[in-house]
Amino acid sequence: MGNFPLEGRCQCGGVTYRLLQEPDFIVACHCRECQKLSTSAFSITAMVPAGAVEFSGELAHWERSSDSGNINAAKFCPTCGNRIYHYNPADPGRIKLKPSTLDDTSIIQPTTHIWVSEKQDWFEIPEGVTVHEKQM
């Protein structure tokens, strides 16, 4: 994939980070909440160990319950509102990095698509990826 570490930042540059290693995997989520988040057909998440990312700058917090009953918490820039990562407080060792905030986005190659039961009709899932109707 890329040459690590990779640098990332929010839109205004108030939050920066370094991704120290390759993500465990990258997923595209087509649920309605992710469509709202991305203002597009899906959002992209890179699953990484929490220790694989070094953050700088102030991060604001927001959370909601998911369909499974887990908490889906989000960290974002309080100035520009750009989401940086999500996480489940019950599993603080793993974060769901929003990799479109990386300076080099060439690592964004989702191998799994989830919540395709809520996918936009106009979007076609690429061949050769794993597909889940709901959560994996």
**Cβ neighbours of residue 81 under 8 Å, at least 6 residues apart?**
none
Tens digits of residue pLDDT in 109-133: 999 998 999 999 999 999 999 888 8
* CATH tag, 6-131: 2.170.150.70
Q: Is the pLDDT of residue 80 over 70?
A: yes
Lowest mean pLDDT, pick from 55-59, 98-102, 130-134: 130-134
Tens digits of residue pLDDT in 25-49: 999 999 888 888 888 888 999 999 9
Q: What is the chain's mean pLDDT, rounded?
A: 91
Give the pLDDT mean for 78-86. Answer: 95
For the chain, how many residues are written?
136
Q: Decide if 19 contacts 103 (C-beta within 8 A).
A: no
- Residue ranges of E strands in 20-70: 25-29, 43-49, 53-56, 60-65
Q: Give the global pTM.
A: 0.85
How confident is the model at residue 47, as a pLDDT? 95
> Across-strand partners of 87?
73
Q: Is the pLDDT of residue 60 over 90?
A: yes
Q: Is the pLDDT of residue 2 over 70?
A: no
Residue 92: HSE in the Cβ half-sphere, 13 Å Cα cutoff: 1
Q: Is the pLDDT of residue 108 over 70?
A: yes
- Domain range summary for the chain, segments of one domain joined by +: 6-131
Q: Which residue has the higher pLDDT, 70 or 88?
A: 88
